[in-house]
Structure 1
């Protein structure tokens, strides 16, 4: 195609790490193809006479101007989570964009609905037993049945606030109190999966199709949370089965770029906000996931209404 007009809504690009940041990886791949890329932050969005606009800058030349979002072939919504008031307000502005004209990655409605920790519970049989509650009593009972658990905030990201909780841990009551803000905030509790030692698989799902997978392992300093992608692995029948089950919902919600976290064949999270690890895999493991995603955007935006 002659070139796409892309608009990237993100945290300031000059503050992102080019070695690991997927947003920069996609931007770099698009620029290398000759596509026109403009960028802005969530606070630069506005609605004028019913139309979504933004004060944007050209990522190569730096010139700044107001842009109608529907003039873009694709809009990439890429601020870092959490999905807070700032993030939600941005999605409400983006609701004014005509999806028939402009590819939304990801659709703001889908981002609001598909909480990364909870949306997988649409298919509870795909994942481990899961408790969502602010009740210390229910958490204690769940941990008593499963012995070792993980407790995490609903709006958490990148491992922030994730704690391991054992049935005989003398700090259990304090951990529960801290995590639930004294019973005022729901948390997610799941059994500790020992086979995370064999790898937490990140499945890269583009337009509903699994395109690649990478294993990440707990870091070696004793922290149970996973680190950088360590190696690419094949997509197995279980992975395909999970994607087959999720595909209709992903399509309905306009979730075009998604990362699934799978441990021992169990679906743990559905990453739909600033779904990452593509750039890390490209740099560490020699994949071409960012460029491949630009290919997909080219194919998808061709023939759309102008």
Structure 2
């Protein structure tokens, strides 16, 4: 099969931990052809199909110069067997526009994973609102006074922007309320931007768990991303330490409930973030942690993913 990965520039990949690279390696090992492009290379013109100037790549096995490539003519996405949208967040305007171009490619006949409409319908922080039975006390608002009342009730809270990634822009405010007003002003920009506020979950010291769900089924191991030193964020990008561990009963309950729902909407791969017993985010853009889980447990996440991809393509 011919597989297109729509992603960040290949030169930026850290293949020691990159999940997209793990997918590529598994797919190449099965004889599939690999292509890559960036979202900015997607083109549509009236009367035609969505096309892109692609890089056809082969994996070299070298840890630095990890691929060789040859340019291709413009190819219609519908002429490929599958398109994998693996562009990293943030989910900004350009990401949004890319999903519309990919949805047009679907109308041409392309198979896109995750489905573009599902990417738009599941903003990663707000998607949890659909599942209140699994989340802790949470507030979404632009109003400063509502945030202050929430803090007065819960005393220890986390504030974060809706478009953040990798732990960026996350603040904790304790019972003393120190700097709460300033933090609100920074995040909501005088009421112009919406903020999420959640009760602080002390279980974060045991890690912010990333649970991968593939084809509706949970991977049996999660990656607990444990904050280091005085840091409150467990994100690997913020210096958290990743420790793979089996799913708990609560982890399985959450993943087994959400998995079939998300899969039915066209989300072949999702990453659930769980602190303690509480769901905090649903990641659908380019969920990661394949390499860390595989390296620490021997469970081959990429194999399971490519199995699910091949199965989805067989059952059109």
Q: Could you state the TM-score of these two structures normalised by the residue count of structure 1?
A: 0.92
Aligned residues: 301
Match of 1:16 in 2: 13
Question: How far, CA to CA, are the matches of 2:107 and 2:31 in structure 1?
Answer: 24
C-alpha deviations, 1:79-127, integer Å up to 9, x for none? 1111111111111111123389544221110111101001111111210
C-alpha deviations, 1:259-287, integer Å up to 9, x for none? 00111121110000011111232345543
Choose the corresponding residue for 1:25, options 14, 22, 27: 22
Greater relative CO, 1 or 2 (CA 8 Å, sep 6+)? 1
Preserved CA contact (<8 Å) 1:46 1:53:
yes
Pair 1:107 & 2:105 matched? no
Gaps of 5+ in 2: 59-68
Match of 1:295 in 2: 307
Bigger mean CA deviation after superposition, 227-236 or 199-208: 227-236
Q: Secondary structure at the match of 1:224?
A: coil
* Cα shift at 1:173: 1.1
Pair 1:241 & 2:260 matched? no
Match of 2:34 in 1: 37
Choose the corresponding residue for 2:162, options 137, 154, 158: 154
Structure 1's 218 and 113: CA in aligned 2 closer, same or farther, altered over 3 A? same
Match of 2:283 in 1: 271
Gaps of 5+ in 1: none
Preserved CA contact (<8 Å) 2:207 2:225:
yes
- 1:59-98 equivalences under 5 Å are 59-60=57-58, 61-98=69-106
Preserved CA contact (<8 Å) 1:45 1:93:
yes
Question: How far, CA to CA, are the matches of 2:91 and 2:314 in structure 1?
Answer: 31
Q: Secondary structure at the match of 2:219?
A: strand
Preserved CA contact (<8 Å) 1:19 1:283:
no
Q: CA RMSD in A?
A: 2.0
